[in-house]
Amino acid sequence: MRMTFGYLRGFVPWIAFSILSTQGESRWGALVGFVLAVGLLVVERRNGRDWDQVVIETSSALFFAGLGLAAFTISPAPLGDFGPAASLGWLALTAWGSLAIRKPFTLGIARTMAPPQIQRSPLFYRVNAIITAVWAAAFTTTALALLALLYLAPHATLAVIVVKLLGFILPAAFTMSYPTAVRERARREAGTSDGTAAGGILEMGTAS
């Protein structure tokens, strides 16, 4: 649970933006998102987090800074009704980009909850690459779904909010369950019952 919260914490600005920005109004959602993103970034850096551990927070601050500046200075508002789809598209690009450079954004977060010997394991990297890929796929799918929904039924506010939230809830559920499943499989393959050997690599997956 603690690991999942560690991931979700960085998405708080986006969740706030998703709820506040509907029917073409993105100004206040962008402003709140920017304040939350900068606040999280400052707190995490003061807590000693390296830059690779605050990828989402940094990306969020940049996105909301640009969108907020444009939203308060350009009329009509930039992106129009498609702001929510664009925001998820930005997150998808961030996640896919982190994979492309072999620095999955979840890797930095997981390192804050795992001992050094576990962090050096290839399995540790592989698990986080898969989790990051799931987040990236979820953001991509959600962005496309929002694009279609906002085009076909732009006033279906409740449906838009539900789709946005599912784009975070589903990958979060996978993040919580996948390390546990891999750890159990590793235990069986290693023939252990105490979580040591290969299974211990994913200890951080059930940190509480």
The whole-number pLDDT of residue 187 equals 79
Residue 131 has pLDDT above 90, yes or no: yes
DSSP 153: -
This prediction has a pTM of 0.78
For residue range 42-98, what is the model confidence (pLDDT) as tens digits? Answer: 998 888 888 877 888 899 999 999 888 887 877 666 666 677 788 889 999 999 999
CA gap 120, 115 in Å, rounded: 9
- Count other C-beta atoms under 10 Å from residue 15's C-beta: 17
For residue range 186-208, what is the model confidence (pLDDT) as tens digits? Answer: 778 776 544 444 444 444 443 33
